[in-house]
Amino acid sequence: MIVVTGGAGFIGSAFVAKLNAEGVADVIVVDEVTSPAREKNLAGKSYRQFIGKQEFIDSVRGNALSQGISAVVHMGACSSTTEKNLEYLQENNVEYSKTLAEYCLARGIRYIYASSAATYGDGAQGYEDDVARLESLKPLNPYGDSKQRMDLWAKENNILSKVVGLKFFNVYGPNEYYKGSMASIAWKAFNAIKETGSFSLFKSHRSEYRDGEQMRDFVYVKDCCDIMWWFLQNPTANGLFNVGSGKARSWNSLLTAIFSAMGKEPSIQYIEMPEDLRNQYQYFTEAPIQKLRDAGYSKPLRSLEEGITDYVQNYLSKPEQHW
């Protein structure tokens, strides 16, 4: 039996779909379904039980959780990069993750948790998923700092040889429609292009980058799920790992791929970046994934164009289609 926290959310529900595709339906989904729209992420999926987040936490802390659990895949946390409530972030992104780690380790249960590329901050220290350099990272916002605190706790307590922490980069794909301002630019751009025929990107305020040539590591959610599944199948592979495509691409490239998948000519405008973002804006992120490869993961990752084409044509163009 596998527990997926955040199982009605973006990556969590996609992973439930992946489990089902692999013939696994003995799943406990943990989440807070706060809107009818988000409930669609669980439609058509097979799972044993849905448990509310607080009931689940109480069961864990009271040692009253169902027997027979083989793995906990912990995607449930605050994913808003603009969240400012430090107490909320500490409870949801640090204490919750620590509680599950301790529970799983005490019982020999496989534990995989979501960290974030936000821990790398402005990238001045690079993007290597090297645990030895963990203390040097300086996240740019409270969200990134909360993920960093969990990673540091795992290191300080010598458990990274027994659990898996996944540093997700810019994930996009089906099941993210409910996220609003936190949805990927791919989702936002598709809907804007469908309505207006064009999309706006921030101008560059650094001379070495032309407008729209700021770069990110965009990774398709199906690749993320393949990687998570591999870690379930390979319990001796442990540690902190980047989850990205391994190749930085520009915002212009992303938009070009979306227009192409929609059968439209590109129409991109460039607007001024708000003053309050300029000192925090990342101009380049790229996930070195050699550590993942060295651990044994060999499946090819989708190119940006492959991922966007699948997303646009098989999901975004079919509003009722979820993965």
Active site residues: 143, 179
**Separation between Cα atoms, residue 170 and residue 185, nearest integer Å:** 9
Three-state DSSP at 127 gives coil
Distance from first CA to last CA of the chain, Å, rounded? 21
**Separation between Cα atoms, residue 224 and residue 316, nearest integer Å:** 19
**Separation between Cα atoms, residue 239 and residue 3, nearest integer Å:** 20
Both structure tokens of 3: 């527990």
Task: Report the DSSP pairing between strands 164-168 and 2-5.
Answer: unpaired
Q: Beta strands of the chain (E only): which ranges?
A: 2-5, 27-31, 49-52, 71-74, 110-116, 164-168, 170-172, 199-202, 215-216, 218-220, 239-243, 249-250, 268-271
Residues 88-105: b if buried by 16+ CB within 10 A, e if exposed:
ebbebbbbbbbebbebbe
Three-state DSSP at 69 gives coil
